[in-house]
Chains A and B, each alone.
Chain A
Amino acid sequence: MKVSLPNFSHWFPIFLAALLPALPVTSSEVKPKSLRIVFIAYENPDQLLENVEPVVEYLERTLDLTVKHFVATDYAAIVEALRNETADAGFMGPLQYVMAHRQAGAYPLLGEIYNGRASYVSRIFVRKDSGIRKLADLGGKTIAFVDPISSSGYMYPLDIFRQAKVLEGAPELFFRKIYFAGGDEQSIRAVYNSFVDAAGIGQYSYNLLRPAERDEVVSIAESRPIPSHCLVARKGLHRPTAEKLQKALLALNDDSENRHLLKFLYNVDGYVKVTHADYSEVEEIGKSYGFIK
């Protein structure tokens, strides 16, 4: 599968990773009796739990382990689950990964691929009939983001304004009001419904609108590439188990019998191995904007 990473600098660590031990060496020597995986729910948590059942069954068969799965509805909970070791691995965005890495030594196993890319972008959406055509028009207006620690739903959208030199001080001084809607769909719907003037969210949020609604909303700017969401292991997870988990999901890329399971995993096209170095730019932006201390 052809994969495009965010920029050239991300290729190097991938090549390097092939020459080095794939995963950190600091891990438990004891094989766990079960593996606990936490999923982030972007929409209906109960539905997600049901949807991933076939994936869990596949992992149990492949890893020869009991796999327990649960859902978190906000990003902070995911980071916390890895930190306090209530989860062994979790699906999360790049900023949450960097936080989990810095706070608890978590490390990434796999990056998600959509449309042949292991990256995506954030966009600033407005209503087509709003008269807003450029970022500067949003001064003194309201905006919805997803979550205060979301990569594509806050940090990168803010970066769009900063890169364009529209926003230099605190965001609260530029916008009249900032909301955190709690999800991609809530954010894009907040624009569609005119609850806010704009939303800063990941590009695929647009698809959460119904076809007849999409024409009402347009993008006026987009961010630099963001490494896609990733599967992350907690520090200390039994290394062979982490490797088997990585291999089992990576195998879905070319496994015609089980490939359909990918649609239950956030409908990804496949996975690619990643290392911490793939997230260096995220870490750098996070630090510069105060998301990471």
Chain B
Amino acid sequence: MLTPIGRNVVNRGLPLVCAMGIALCAPSSQGHIVPPEDLHPTAESFRRIEFFLNLNPVPWNLVAEDVDLLETQLTLIAPTAATRFRSAVGGDMDLIDPEKAETPMDSGASREAARRVFRESTMAVAATLLAYLDSAEHQLKDTRTASSGVETARRVWASFEHEIRYSDPIAFRKLGEAWLELSSALLMSVKAKDEANPGAKVAFEEAATSIRDYVNGNFGPGFEMSESGRLRALPRGSDTFQADAAIPVKLPPGHNMNKQLPRPRQLLNMAERGIDEKDTILIALGDMAFDSPYIFGEPARSLQISCNTCHNKSITNPGFIIPGLSVRAGGVDVSSSFFAPFANNGHFDPLDIPDLRGIRFTAPYGRNGRFDSLLEFVRNVIVNEFNGAEPDPTLLDGLIAYILEFDFLANPYLENTGQLNEEASEAAHRGERIFHQPFDGFGGNSCAGCHVPSANFLDHRRHDIGTVKGSGPFSRDRALDTPTLLGIRYTAPYFHDGSQTTLEGVNLWFNDRFSLGLSEAELKDLTAYVETVGDGIEAYEDTLHTLEAEMEEFSFFLSAYEYLRQSGKSELIEITFSTIALEIHAHKWDVQDSAYLPVLNLMAELMEEASNEQIAGRTKAVDAIVAEYRQLHDEYADRLK
């Protein structure tokens, strides 16, 4: 029965299976939060090693950590093989200088070492898997021990699964059945207890043999890689291997791209003034582009990374991390070989993700203030950091129009001059006096000399405060743009590299570095002041249920459709539809009443269909679909929450 779904859905001939699937999942306010994969330590380390060895330059210190973990795991089940592995990679690992995070970019020696380490690591994983499988087979009489061995072997198998799924789909299925056969045979033996179960034993042995042969034949001692290109564990020895298969990029274990919950409250200046967002077309287009991975190139597009992934609702996403590209959560190296190899700057320089609130007041842009123009900065992000095509000027204008609307949080403790008002605490007022106090260590300047209170706590200049490691002893490449202190309570970690986790830590660092001579009490007061300046009203939304707001925002995206149609911006229309479809699919699992999942599915399908019709140039059909989408949204808006 489709009671909640209504006429439109039924009229479109929603398949019965979808209708039956309406209550499949328990409602969750965090449905769009993707949990990390539950991988065996061996699989985790191997997948990270693969990711690291394909970076340029290779982060050898990280590789070494995971090589150690691989060895540790192998030692648990096959000590002799572990010794052989250590001996095989030892020469390359010994070359690592623990003081250095990387070797010189793309050196021939580094590439050769990477190939050797990858080959040996692949074989070590295969050895681990086979040792657990053999162990299980030798202990078939003890079914529980055997089950544990099989389960461990299967989890180690996950090291290779992604590549096999795409490059050898026939074997992927066949071996998937073999793993099922192993667990099945063991569970049947458990059920049968001590009774002889020769059928199960034979089934087990046959399945184990097929897995063993495949792993040995492809990833065992004869494992070979292609002469060039990405280092990958591909099953080249398999008869059904497809050499030309496209294998989607996968981020290493330990990554996190989930956005924070509760969601930061976003302040758009025109919305704060009561202007209907649907009347601000260019801003609507920019809002869509900010949420769209389709303005970027590969691999960001496939990984569904958009501006909003890192700058969630305009502020820092403190949980964002990609091992190998980040030192810590909340930062990433966007000038590495991963996102846009052609724009690789050749050294590891992850940056703390900046808060974009109040961005129209915070020029110059980039941590080192390398761009005076926001337009140039945003274009550089799209084209050179995330490998996107040259953006349409209208899209770029839209993004700028949208970003310029980001407001600072209102702060009830600050006068327009930037001075604290009487609502602020005594400690904060004492801290304010310290903030304005000249220090010898600052060359007679005060904190307020750079963080000018009347200018949104900025001086729009670049200073070398000693946090950047330069290219040489007397190099002049260490200056950073002065960051604002507004909203800073919500943007931890701090400094360009996120090396300070608290504001107290930041003040301590300044006190030590510049010999300010502040007492413990004074430091506390100064911290109270900075926290007060960095405070804001309702920094986060007060609900975990975000679907209703998201659906409203998607309608806002669509409000640019007519303008784009008149302007002949077909590509931008297509990006808009595809982005809405993608976003609905990402957020639909948040729906509190799963009976409305089919409505959300249908809305996503409509956008996908509209995108296809747009590509085919059937504008009347597109008009009709857009009208239908809007009608659905109007009809169900109060229930899609």
* A interface list, Cβ under 8 A from B: 43-44, 47, 73-74, 76-77, 114-115, 123, 126, 128, 133, 142, 144, 147-149, 178-182, 186, 190, 193-196, 203-204, 206-207, 210-212, 214-215, 218-221
Contacts and interface: CB of A to CB of B under 8 A. Distances in A.
B66 to A, nearest CB: 20
Contacts of B180: 144, 179, 181, 186, 190, 195-196
Contact of B24 (A115, A148, A206): A206
B16 A133 contact: yes
A74 B187 contact: yes
Nearest to B193: A76
Contact of A206 (B25, B35, B181, B585): B25
Contacts of A206: 24-25
A contact patch SS: mixed
B187 A148 contact: yes
Contact of B190 (A43, A74, A133, A218): A74
Contacts of A218: 17-18, 20-21, 24
Contact of A148 (B16, B31, B191, B586): B191
Interface of B: 16-18, 20-21, 24-28, 31-32, 34-35, 38, 144, 147-148, 151, 165, 172-173, 176-177, 179-181, 183-184, 186-188, 190-191, 585-586, 589, 601
B20 A76 contact: no
22 contacts: A74-B147, A114-B26, A126-B17, A133-B17, A147-B187, A148-B188, A149-B191, A179-B177, A179-B180, A179-B184, A181-B183, A182-B184, A186-B183, A194-B176, A195-B177, A195-B180, A207-B25, A212-B585, A214-B25, A218-B17, A218-B18, A219-B17
Contact of B151 (A126, A182, A215): A182
B contact patch SS: helix
Given A180-B183, A206-B25, A214-B25, A220 B20 contact: yes
- Rank and list the top 9 A-B pairs by shortest CB-CB distance, nearest first: A195-B176, A182-B183, A179-B180, A180-B187, A148-B191, A218-B17, A180-B184, A218-B21, A179-B184
A178 B187 CA distance: 12
A214 B35 CA distance: 14
B148 to A, nearest CB: 7
Given A76-B190, A206-B24, A218-B17, A211 B34 contact: yes
Nearest to A128: B17
A219 B25 CA distance: 11
A47 B179 CA distance: 22
A193 B172 contact: yes
A194 B21 contact: no
Given A133-B16, A193-B176, A180 B188 contact: yes
A203 B347 CA distance: 49
A17 to B, nearest CB: 28
B34 A210 contact: yes
Contacts of B601: 215
Contacts of B184: 178-182
A77 B173 CA distance: 30
A114 B28 CA distance: 12
Nearest to A177: B177
A190 B179 CA distance: 10
Contacts of B190: 74, 76, 148
